[in-house]
Structure 1
Amino acid sequence: MKKLVIATRSSNLALWQSEYIKALLNEHYPDLEIELKSFATKADKILDVPLAKIGGKGLFTKELEIALLNKEADIAVHSLKDVPVEFEDGFVLAALSKRFDPRDALLSEKYSTIQELPQGAVVGTTSLRRRLEIKLLRPDIVLKDLRGNINTRIAKLKAGEYDAIILAATGVQKLQIEDEVKHFNPIPTSDMIPSMGQATLGIETLDNPELVELLSVIHDKNAEIESTIERDFVRTLEGGCQVPIGVKATIIDENSVEVRAIVGMPDGSEYIQEDLIANINDYKNIGKTLAQTFIDQGAKELLARAEKVAFE
Structure 2
Amino acid sequence: MTDAPLRLGTRASALALWQARHVAAAIARIPGAPPVEIVEIKTTGDAVTDIPLWATAGKGFFTAELDRALIDQRIDLAVHSLKDLPTAPGDNLVITAVLEREDPRDALVVGKGLDPNALPRGASIGTSSLRRRAFVARWRPDLVHRDLRGNVPTRLSKLDDGAYDAIVLAAAGLKRLGLAARIASYLPMETFPPAVAQGAIAVMTRSNDSRTIRWISALDHPVTRIAVRAERALLRHVEGGCQVPLGAHGHITGDTLKLSAEVCSLDGTFTVAAENQGPISEPEKLGIAVAEALLRGDARRALATMPVLTIKSAP
Q: Name the counterpart of 2:306.
A: 307
Identity %: 35
What is the TM-score of this pair, normalised by structure 2? 0.92
Partners in 2 of 1:56 and 1:191 — Cα distance?
24
Match of 2:14 among 9, 12, 15: 12
Q: Give 1:235 shift.
A: 0.5
Q: Give 1:31 shift.
A: 5.0
Partners in 1 of 2:91 and 2:278 — Cα distance?
32
Q: 1:203-233 deviations in whole A, cap 9, x for unaligned?
A: 1111123322321111000111110110000
What is the TM-score of this pair, normalised by structure 1? 0.93
Q: Give 1:281 shift.
A: 3.8
Q: Give 1:55 shift.
A: 1.7
Q: Are 2:228 and 2:250, in contact at CA under 8 Å, matched by a contact in 1?
A: yes
Q: 1:166-204 deviations in whole A, cap 9, x for unaligned?
A: 00011111110234x4x5322221121000110000111
Q: Give 1:297 shift.
A: 2.3
- Matches for 1:168-247 after TM superposition, within 5 Å: 168-179=170-181, 181=182, 183-208=183-208, 209-247=210-248
Number of aligned residue pairs: 307
Q: Name the counterpart of 1:57.
A: 59
Q: Name the counterpart of 1:72.
A: 74
Q: Are 2:265 and 2:301, in contact at CA under 8 Å, matched by a contact in 1?
A: no
Q: Are 2:277 and 2:286, in contact at CA under 8 Å, matched by a contact in 1?
A: no
Partners in 1 of 2:292 and 2:33 — Cα distance?
48
| Structure 2 stretches lacking a partner, 5+ long | none
1:257 matched to 2:257 = yes
Q: Give 1:118 shift.
A: 1.4
Structure 1 residues 124 and 172: alpha-carbon distance in aligned structure 2, compared to 1, 3 A threshold: same
| Structure 1 stretches lacking a partner, 5+ long | none
Q: Name the counterpart of 1:45.
A: 47
DSSP-derived class of the 1:28 partner: coil
Paired amino acid for 1:242: Q
Q: Are 1:112 and 1:185, in contact at CA under 8 Å, matched by a contact in 2?
A: no
Q: Are 2:58 and 2:242, in contact at CA under 8 Å, matched by a contact in 1?
A: no
Q: Are 1:94 and 1:216, in contact at CA under 8 Å, matched by a contact in 2?
A: yes
1:266 matched to 2:266 = yes
Q: Are 1:193 and 1:261, in contact at CA under 8 Å, matched by a contact in 2?
A: yes
Q: Name the counterpart of 2:26.
A: 24
Q: Name the counterpart of 2:100.
A: 98
- Matches for 1:69-148 after TM superposition, within 5 Å: 69-108=71-110, 109-113=112-116, 115-148=117-150
Match of 1:155 among 154, 157, 164: 157
Partners in 1 of 2:128 and 2:218 — Cα distance?
36
Q: Name the counterpart of 1:290.
A: 290
Q: 1:62-106 deviations in whole A, cap 9, x for unaligned?
A: 010111122110000000000000122111111100001111000
Partners in 1 of 2:72 and 2:138 — Cα distance?
45
DSSP-derived class of the 1:15 partner: helix
Q: Are 2:234 and 2:284, in contact at CA under 8 Å, matched by a contact in 1?
A: no
Structure 1 residues 213 and 301: alpha-carbon distance in aligned structure 2, compared to 1, 3 A threshold: farther
Q: Which has the higher helix share?
A: 1
DSSP-derived class of the 1:98 partner: coil
Paired amino acid for 1:155: S
Q: Give 1:241 shift.
A: 1.1
Structure 1 residues 25 and 31: alpha-carbon distance in aligned structure 2, compared to 1, 3 A threshold: closer
Q: Give 1:255 shift.
A: 2.8
Structure 1 residues 282 and 56: alpha-carbon distance in aligned structure 2, compared to 1, 3 A threshold: closer
Partners in 1 of 2:278 and 2:299 — Cα distance?
21
DSSP-derived class of the 1:229 partner: helix
